[in-house]
Structures are given as structure tokens and as C-alpha cells.
Amino acid sequence: MAKEPERNSCLLRDLRQRAGNDICADCGAAEPDWVSVTLGVFVCQGCSLIHRSILSLSQVKSVLQDPFEDKEIEFITSMGNEAAKAKYEQQVPPFYYRPSHTDCRILREQWIRAKYERLEFIYIERQEPYSAGYREGFLWKRGRDNGQFLSRKFILSEREGALKYFNKQDAREPKAIMRIETLNATFQPAKIGNPFGLQITYLRDNSTRNIFVYHEDSKEMVDWFTAIRAARFHYQKVAFPGANDEDLVPRLTRNFMKEGYMEKTGPRHTEGFKKRWFTMDDRRLMYFKDPLDAYARGEVFIGSKENSYTVVPGLPPATQGYHWKYGITIETPDRKFLFACETEAEQKDWIAAFQRVVNRPMMPQEYAVEAHFKHKP
């Protein structure tokens, strides 16, 4: 007869094979090796570290290495990921961002705290900070010229359809008005140099404008992010009255498809190649002198293969000037754009990102973007 620790280990491994328990309860990562004996959920190593940091909430153990008591096995058996989801995720708003294992820590930690600590999806009134349609507060914003972060007042108004910020606390007129229609927000802790750093983009005169903000409190920052998603969701519900929530949610905010350095040359292909920071944002390929620039030096619209857009590895034989070894040519109906990557791996990654866009048919509204697109050479 198996000894009690061995028997419990076998039972636990069997439990992990059950539907729902085979992925992390919080981020969906496959084959979670940890379990919260206080919440009864299986989690991945990354989420287990977050659980462990919230001492009052969760006690985690290793599925493969730690011993388990009978009462712990009984509780985990009675709960499990599916039952916990039914309990703690009763009323998750459609606009609330559900993080994956690839998302930054701030999103995963606040999702875990919202579910189990603050019980926001059991008591709907606790969602007020981001669901009210209006939000006002102060964020640290990076200055456009000197790069310093300064405290600025922000107001998000669903009724006005805008996010505004003010350079002075008593200013009557905002420094910028960002229409909810074109707003995007994505966490960029590494690029901004702050674990709670958020990049907000919007269109002004059909060109992309970046602002970089953070708040010292991670909940405050995620509440701002979620409030932006809520405002975008309600705007989309009005703009596309027949659409399902499942169709609208992917449009609320988006992470950039790829970012990094490449070299580029000008439209005549006779100028020297210059190193630039590139951001692939849906069909907009933008390039900057510095990753934290407010404005792109130029933007390239990338359409679909049905509309004569193609991506080719390498550069034309007659290309002049010194450049990195691994070239990429993007052919559009109007001209060819030439880029060069420092490594073959980067070249392959960029080509894969471009190819995903080119292989996707254009939507009706994208034809209007293409028609009005202003490329800055």
C-alpha cells in the first residue's frame, strides 16, 4: 500500500490532468506546476510568484516537490480551476483585459488581486474606478523635449469621447485632446524604464502621437488602462451596433506586433542607411530616431497581397551605401521600401510580422486609411 505522501502526490498529479486544471488558472500557461492550497487553483511558476507575494491571500506549493496533507488534497479536489473560475470570475466586464503568460507582471498581478483579493468580479460596485465612464487624476508624463517625467492632470470622459491632459493644475484648456476613437494603450515597462509604464497613442492629423506615462501605484495604473478599454468598448458599441462583444474586444487596445531597430534608406535609395527604431502597429509601420520620441519620423502603410503589397528578403542588387547585412524589401503599389537588420534572426522575425499583415485581407475602413495615409519620407 502506498504511503500517504506518495498517495497524495499521485492524487494531485491526477487532479492536474482534469479539464481546466491543465492550464494556469490566471494566465492560461500550459502544464502549471504549482497549486494554491488556500484557493484550490493550479498556477504556473510566474503566477505562483505573484500569489506568494500576497501573503494574506495565497499559500502555494510545488505539485512535483512538496508534500500535501489530506485536507489540502480534499480542498483542491472540491475546488479546482473551473470551480474557482465560476466563483471568482462571475461578472468580469467584457472590456477587462485578461492577461496571458506573455504579458508584463503589472497586468497579471492586478488581475490576480482583482479576482481573489478585492473580489471585483463578485461585487460589481468594486469596478467603479474603471467602469464609471469618467476618470480624473494625476499621472507622471514624460516631457517631449527634455525627457523628464512631470505630474500632469488627466481626464477621461466617455461622454466627451476624449482623454485630455493639462500642463497646469488650474489650466482651463487641455494641452492635448485624444479622441477615444483612435486611442490605444499598451504597457511598455522595459522601453519606458518603469515597471508601471504605459504608452498611449492616438492619431492627430492622421499621424501617430505617443505619450508615455506611469503612476507609482500599480492598481491606479491598471485602473487607467482598464478605464480606457471601457471607454473604447462603449464607443465601439455605438459605432458598430450589430457587432458581438467577441468581435469588439480585440479592437479595444492592442500590443504592437513587433518593435526594434532596423536601418532604412530614403525613397530614391541613394541616401545612406540610417538606424531607426521601428514599431509595427497593425498596418502602420512607424520609425523613430529614439524609442521614446513623441512623433514618428515617418509611417508606412502596409496593405494586403490582394492589393499588390509584398515582402521580399534581401535588397535590390543596385542598392548603394553601407548597411546591415540582412535586408528586407517591402513592395507597395507606389514604391519599394528598403530595410536592413543586424542579424538573420531579426530579419526572419520582421519578415514574419510583415507577412502576417500582408496575408490578412483589408477591411473596408482600412481602404480609407490607405487613401488618406500621409507618409513622411
Give the C-alpha separation, 112 to 53, whole Å: 11
Q: Report the Cα 360 to chain-centroid distance in Å.
A: 20
Tell me, yes or no, whether 244 and 338 share the same domain: no
Tell me, yes or no, whether 200 and 267 share the same domain: no
**For position 64, what pLDDT does the model report?**
87
The structural domain count of the chain equals 3
Kindly report, residue by residue over 320-376, the tens digit of the pLDDT: 888 899 999 999 998 899 999 999 999 999 999 999 999 999 988 888 778 776 444
Mean pLDDT, rounded, of the chain? 92
Give the C-alpha separation, 236 to 136, whole Å: 22
Give the C-alpha separation, 97 to 111, whole Å: 8
- 330 CB contacts (<8 Å, ≥6 apart)? 285, 300, 302, 309, 310, 311, 312, 336, 337, 339, 354
Per the domain annotation, does 97 fall within a domain? Answer: no
Per the domain annotation, does 95 fall within a domain? Answer: no
Tell me, yes or no, whether 182 and 70 share the same domain: no
Buried b (16+ CB within 10 A) or exposed e, 79-117: bbbeebbebbbeebbebbbebebebbbbbbbbbbbbbbe
Tell me, yes or no, whether 152 and 223 share the same domain: yes
End position of a domain, from candidates 200, 223, 251: 251
φ/ψ of 19, rounded to 5, equals: -55, 130
- 181 CB contacts (<8 Å, ≥6 apart)? 161, 235, 239
Q: Which helix (H) or strand (E) holds 288?
A: strand 284-288
Per the domain annotation, does 99 fall within a domain? Answer: no
Give the C-alpha separation, 114 to 108, whole Å: 10
What is the distance between the terminal CA atoms of the chain, rounded to a whole angstrom? 77
Count Cβ atoms within 10 A of the Cβ of residue 178 and give its class: 0-12 exposed, 13-18 middle, 19 or more buried. buried
Residue 3 pLDDT greater than 70, yes or no? no
Per the domain annotation, does 121 fall within a domain? Answer: no
Share of the chain above pLDDT 90, in %: 77
End position of a domain, from candidates 37, 66, 89: 89
**For position 375, what pLDDT does the model report?**
45
The CATH number of residue 33's host domain is 1.10.220.150
Domain that holds residue 178: 131-251
End position of a domain, from candidates 89, 120, 142: 89
The CATH number of residue 234's host domain is 2.30.29.30
Kindly report, residue by residue over 231-267, the tens digit of the pLDDT: 999 999 999 898 999 999 999 999 999 999 999 998 7
